[in-house]
Amino acid sequence: MKRRRPVRAVVLLSGGLDSTTVLAAALAAGREVHCLSVDYGQRHRAELARARALARLLGAAGHRVVKVDLSAFGGSALTDAAVAVPKGRSTRTMSREIPVTYVPARNTVMLSLALAHAEVIGAEEIHVGVNAVDYSGYPDCRPEFLAAFGKLARLATRAGVGGRPLRIVAPLLRLSKAGIIRLGTRLGVPYGRTTSCYDPVRDRACGRCDACQLRRKGFEEAGLPDPTRYVPAGRWRR
């Protein structure tokens, strides 16, 4: 009897805490994982090198980096050097407003690229690390957005028209940052090799941007040591 191949999945991998946890979860579920990272003109491009290393370390079947220059439009602190990355905001403030680190259409573009890659390689699933709990107010991290994109994927692809729609899998959607860290720790995620910082200083995380604060809070609430190398308190400089 012919042996059926494992379910093939595209994992959007940024090199950060969340997406690396998604990669580990997909591998633990027996998926044949093909990672996709996007060089979109982000100021924290160091994450791309981390993504390459993590895909190789954790045993992904493949990894590609695609360049789409969203800095051509600007409109975000992550793609426009003239816009400062917010520092020292409270988690309450983060949850009340859409911050300037929101990149217009970023998740729509990334999922579309993953959709194209999935169709070409015959993948059945796209895994993404969006989170609706500790999500910094980004509108494209909500369940409604994923549901809408899933409908688009069914309507706009050969696979969908042929009755084999790709599944959009978001295993972290309802988890807190602490819950994500606990899950990843059980799966053996090397969090010391991941990066979350929006505004790193050489090889260290700033410790003060929204992403750093949510990461630090997550480790604290999980009761686990944070392996991140932060800029020492009181010594932050650009």
Q: Which of 238, 200, 209 is nearest to 50 (CA)?
A: 200
Q: What average pLDDT score do residues 195-218 get?
A: 93
Is residue 214's pLDDT more than 80? yes
How far, in Å, CA of 53 to CA of 116, rounded? Answer: 23
What is d(CA 107, CA 132) in angstroms, rounded to the nearest whole number? 14
DSSP state at residue 31: -
Where is pLDDT greater, at 203 or 110? 110
Rounded to 5 degrees, φ, ψ at 221 are: -70, -25
Cβ burial, residue 52 (10 Å; 0-12/13-18/19+): middle
pTM value is: 0.93
Structure tokens, 189: 């995620």
Q: What is the DSSP letter of 205?
A: B
> pLDDT category, 238, cuts 50, 70, 90?
very low
The average pLDDT across 58-77 equals 96
List, in order of start, the domains of the chain with CATH numbers: 8-222 (3.40.50.620)
46 or 183: whose pLDDT is higher? 183
Helix (H) or strand (E) holding 169: strand 167-169
Query: How many other CB atoms sit within 10 Å of the CB of residue 83?
Result: 15
Q: Is residue 158 pLDDT above 50, yes or no? A: yes
Q: Is the pLDDT score of 205 beyond 50?
A: yes
CB 40 within 8 A of CB 109: yes
Which 3 state secondary structure label does DSSP give 110? helix
